[in-house]
A and B are shown apart, each in its own frame.
Chain A
Amino acid sequence: MSARPVAVIGVGQTHHKKARADVSMIGLVREAAERALADAGCDWADIDAVVLGKAPDAFEGVMQPELFLADALGGAGKPMLRVHTAGSVGGSTFIYGSHLVNAGIHERVLTVAWEKQSEGNAQWGLAGGRSGGIGAGGAFAPFIRKYIRDTDAPEYIGWMVAVKDRQNALKNPYAHLKIADISIEKVKESEMLWDPLRFLESCPSSDGACAMVVGSEAAAAAAPNPPAWVLGTAVRTELSTFPGRDATRPQAGVDCAHALYDSVGITNPREQIDVAELYVPFSWYEPMWLEGHDIAGPGEGWRMVDDGATEIEGSFPVNPSGGVLSSNPIGASGMLRMAEAALQVRGLAGEHQVEGAHVSLGQAYGGNAQYFSMAIFGSTQDAVR
């Protein structure tokens, strides 16, 4: 059999914060799930299966937490699957949920991704609790330095991305960081963490969850709010490191993008995609992914930033939600990209809505910039022109 259409019919997320001390892990996922169900106009009984994603269990110190979260997510009596593909997990979790509908197995699937960083220590978790870790920024800084050297990008490009995303976050009621007086000066003067990355060019540690209800055409027709059609999905993975690997333009990212574009008939992504939510945990990843997914040519990604093309009013808005730079509940960060991309084509993004968004891109990456999950959403099933 071939894949049947699938739509996002409900989106929910928590208010992301440094510490959501007001809720347990159970309360956190429940909050996002209830909002997604309300958006989808359905109840727990309408959900056929639950898919849960999060980053390493070591972050909260709970092994396979989907087992104890089953009750809160209405999992009893249903299939529940736990995905873990490093930082891309939120994207992969959503994609697997959509495939359950594509394949005709279920009518409505609840996908949930979360992280409660305040109940653990992600830095300790990343290092396996064994040594002082270099952190994610320490892993990615050399790649960023290489990008800057290869493309002659000016240092202020990173600061511009940091400012743009934090300004966008001011329009997103769920965003964690709200830095009202954000400015180039403020970013530039913030502490150097991992050369060339400064403190304000880095993502925060957040508590938060995201939930999406995906459904069939019939489920979409029965839902009260407009759907976002999942026009295509793709995942690609490559090894962490090996001689000759291009870490600034990983082949898995290139392949993933092209598999996705080909599957939906996109030949000119910059023209045919109206808005993108890209996984940018450190400022420089915006121009790097614009090039790494062939939205911009080599060395053109930073010029798009410089020209203001990626601003919310620009020709190719990136991360109107404020992105990972403004909210980073790690396991949920990838799903938030999918959720925000879906909201845009549904016309439900509120103050950070991009005018006339009919085709959107959601992207997440993980591991040593080696895992990619991407999806294209459309306001209609034939939205790609």
Chain B
Amino acid sequence: MPADDIAIVGWGQTPSVASTDLTEPQLCLAAVNDALAMANIDRHAIGFTCSGSCDYLSGGPFVFISNLEAAGAWPPISESHVEMDGAWALYEAWVRIQHGDIDFALVYGSGKSSPSDPALLFPQQLDPYYLEPLGLDPASLMGMQARALLDSGTATERDFAAVAARSRRAGAANPKAQTLPNGAGESDLDIDALLAAPYVRAPLRAHDLAPAADGAAAVVLATPAKARELTDHPVFIRGIDHRLEPHQPGVRDLADSPSTRLAAQKAGLGANGGGVGVAELYATSSAQELILRAALGLGPDVSVNPSGGALCSDPVMATGLVRIIEAAQRVADGTTRRAVAHAVNGQVLQHNLVCVLEGER
């Protein structure tokens, strides 16, 4: 097994907005520049670059090629790209830096959801023979999942609203989080008021669903030796793993997330949340947060999504990487010694990544 605890030494993220006139390379460039500035290294010190993005969001092929401008791919760079959230780009870079021949890796994830309608787009992410023709959109799938959770008897619609209220309260204090159309006003924080809202897909209401956004995020990884040279407060990746579940929703227990549990186990999280003080979870519905908390064994003392999470802003393809950044931030600033970040790819928690972060032992 890999022995090296790779460190996160720099990060950056653009503000998430419902729609921006900036191009995706411009978003990436801002995030990459911030990450390099924080790490205090020149981009030519980077030994490997990996990005995550998705052509379908902006509706053109090879979106990631334009994003290379942000990586500054001249002179030529050692580089790869995943058609996934940036959290998986971080995973590929983490694998690459294990070889021991490079000091730094750059990771970025980006997406512009504003050019497309998720309800029309995301059915095309489903099995094209049996599921896609049904026109199942993400909200419908998440509604079925939330219903399964209610039917399991472990949560109520009031629990969903409480997750939303807490997320909105946290998001209002996060300058990178999206300003939601209805604001984080008093009524947003009042659970009875939230429960009075109409369903989007029963049993989920608008506040239960992540609002897609435009945005980008970037991270600089370093070997432990380089990290200690650069900073007195390195954040180490103690473990990272990702696991997938079958695609057909009908063969899964949607009220549970066994792949998250397995990824956490492989990442060495440990039982009952493994003593983390903070968890940043990529839940695209309030019900998913409850499912993920249970899968990770997080107790009531764990601060979940202090950034506001995806329920405040979901810059698709960057959101998972943002969770790692937000968790790393809280280790770096001393909020907690140990944190866990989670990312998801696919619908209703099909593919989950778990990353355990710690400061110096």
Closest chain A CB from B303 CB (angstroms): 28
Closest chain B CB from A331 CB (angstroms): 11
B4 touches A86 (CB 8 A): no
A67 touches B345 (CB 8 A): yes
B244 touches A78 (CB 8 A): yes
Residues 85-132 (chain B) with a chain A CB within 8 angstroms? 88, 91-92, 95-96, 98-101, 121-122, 124-129, 131-132
Residue B172 lies at the interface, judged by CB distance under 8 Å to chain A: no
Which of A69, A238, A251 has most chain B Cβ within 10 Å? Answer: A238
B100 touches A251 (CB 8 A): no
Q: Mark A220-253, 1 if CB is under 8 A from B, else 0.
A: 0000000000000011111110100000001110
Total count of chain A residues near the partner, CB < 8 A? 64
A2 to B98, CA, bound (A): 7
CB contact between B100 and one of A1, A75, A125, A238 (< 8 Å): that residue: A1
Q: Contacts A67-B350, A367-B62 given: A1-B82 contact, CB under 8 Å?
A: no
A103 touches B2 (CB 8 A): yes
CB contact between A62 and one of B2, B124, B243 (< 8 Å): that residue: B124
Residue B78 lies at the interface, judged by CB distance under 8 Å to chain A: yes
Residue B79 lies at the interface, judged by CB distance under 8 Å to chain A: yes
Residues 109-131 (chain A) with a chain B CB within 8 angstroms? 125-126, 128-130
Q: Mark A1-31, 1 if CB is under 8 A from B, else 0.
A: 1110000000000000000000011100000
Closest chain A CB from B342 CB (angstroms): 15
A64 touches B345 (CB 8 A): yes
B95 touches A86 (CB 8 A): no
A62 touches B128 (CB 8 A): yes
Residue A194 lies at the interface, judged by CB distance under 8 Å to chain B: no
List the B side residues contacting A62 at CB < 8 Å.
124-125, 128, 132
Which of these binds chain B: A94-102, A284-292, A345-353? A94-102
A86 to B100, CA, bound (A): 27
Residue A84 lies at the interface, judged by CB distance under 8 Å to chain B: yes
A92 to B2, CA, bound (A): 21
19 A-B pairs whose Cβ atoms sit less than 8 Å apart in the complex: A1-B3, A62-B124, A63-B55, A64-B54, A64-B56, A67-B345, A70-B245, A76-B246, A80-B351, A81-B82, A81-B242, A83-B81, A84-B83, A105-B1, A105-B2, A237-B68, A238-B73, A239-B68, A367-B65
Known contacts A57-B54, A126-B61, A256-B76, then 20 further A-B pairs from the complex at CB < 8 Å, ordered by chain A residue: A1-B3, A3-B99, A56-B55, A60-B128, A63-B124, A67-B247, A67-B347, A67-B351, A68-B126, A78-B244, A83-B82, A84-B82, A100-B95, A102-B99, A104-B2, A105-B98, A235-B79, A236-B78, A238-B76, A240-B65
Taking Cβ atoms with an 8 Å cutoff, the residues of B that contact A are: 1-4, 49, 54-56, 59-62, 64-66, 68-69, 73-84, 88, 91-92, 95-96, 98-101, 121-122, 124-129, 131-132, 241-248, 259, 262, 345-347, 350-351
